[in-house]
Amino acid sequence: MPTLAPLDEVNELMKGIWESGIMTHNGPLVQRFEKEVCDFLKVPQMVSCCNGTLALQMAIKALGKTGEIITTPFTFIATISSIMWEQCTPVFVDIDPETLDIDASKIEERITRHTIAIMPVHVFGNNCDFEAIGALAKAYNLPVIYDACHSVGSMYKGESVFRQGDISVTSFHATKMLNTAEGGGIFTLDKEIDERLRRIRFFGFENHADIVEDGFNGKMTEVHAAVGIANLRYLELALADRKEKYSRYKEILGQNSEIKFQKITTGCNYSYFPAIFKDEETVLKVMAALNAENIFPRRYFYPSVNTFTKLVPYVSMPNSEDIASRILCLPLHMGMNMGDIEETAEIILAKL
């Protein structure tokens, strides 16, 4: 379920849209949303756009190169499709089965003369190994695009994770900690990249006068920005709520040693609660028991994307494939109370 501001707060912003007649084209609410997000996260700039997938495409396009991009097989398909839509080739590196993030120690062996970037994913808002990845990127002169679509509110050394890498991309989809219904954001500390992203977002125009980039229409609308502005007021509350409920799930489910949990690195926003069971049979049994009580967990991420052979040649990724078969993300949102958390956890324990 999405975290939503009271409807009257959204409607108040909508009235201004109707009065001005400005619906899109980098309107005042889009600019306000970008500024308020930057102020909240203490980052210098953000380029908003219409969704997180397109945000990833824009980030790749801003590099101005085609070739191989190293990434993880344990992610949503959008990570891979964004690479392929930009005429690049995804190259998979298996995950650390504890953190569920890309195994930084295995990246170097996949770097070739065709590699143009590294695109790690902060899985479920759990930070990747910034130091190891940063050292590799520097040694091989490779840009890093972090797929941080789960990571609004995640921190590293007291700062937003969006300050890491050359570019960080997030999603404002309805399921994310901060949502605009659909939307995305691209963060970079590099002013030139920021300016290029803004041109790409608007067909490649330079000051609405001349086309200087191979761009497209990636604009966020005023309507979506209004939803985001209203929801941003409740982000701090939502982050605290997530962490509290995450802790309660883990407290109860931790009573059974057969259930494993993602190893949290640093600064996670606790936006998801993944539980890892002993085998796929147990996952299916738990899902059936929960569904019978109108509780609907999700198999994030199943199957491992390296197995989508209609899109990519199969390469064995044993850790990712194993975890994908055994993982279940449990319901976790503002609309749940502690009783809901406890009921869900007890149903699971009763089936093991």
How far apart CA 349 and CA 256 sit, in angstroms, is: 7
176-207 pLDDT, tens digit per residue, is 999 999 999 999 999 999 999 999 999 999 88
How far apart CA 24 and CA 99 sit, in angstroms, is: 40
Residue 209 has pLDDT above 90, yes or no: no
The pTM of the full predicted model, rounded to 2 decimals, is 0.97
How far apart CA 289 and CA 279 sit, in angstroms, is: 16
H or E stretch covering 159: strand 159-160
User: If you average pLDDT over every residue of the chain, what do you get?
Assistant: 97
How far apart CA 228 and CA 48 sit, in angstroms, is: 11
Residue 349 has pLDDT above 90, yes or no: yes
Residue 208 has pLDDT above 90, yes or no: no
How far apart CA 268 and CA 265 sit, in angstroms, is: 7
Mean pLDDT over residues 231-239, rounded? 98
Q: Which domains does the chain have, with CATH numbers?
A: 7-232 (3.40.640.10), 235-350 (3.90.1150.10)
Mean pLDDT over residues 210-234, rounded? 96
pLDDT for 334? 95
Q: Rounded to the nearest 10 degrees, how much is the dihedral formed by the CA atoms of 35, 57, 147, 206?
A: -30
Residue 328 has pLDDT above 90, yes or no: yes
pLDDT band at 8 (very low <50, low <70, confident <90, very high): very high
pLDDT for 207? 81
Sign of CA dihedral 67, 73, 74, 78: positive
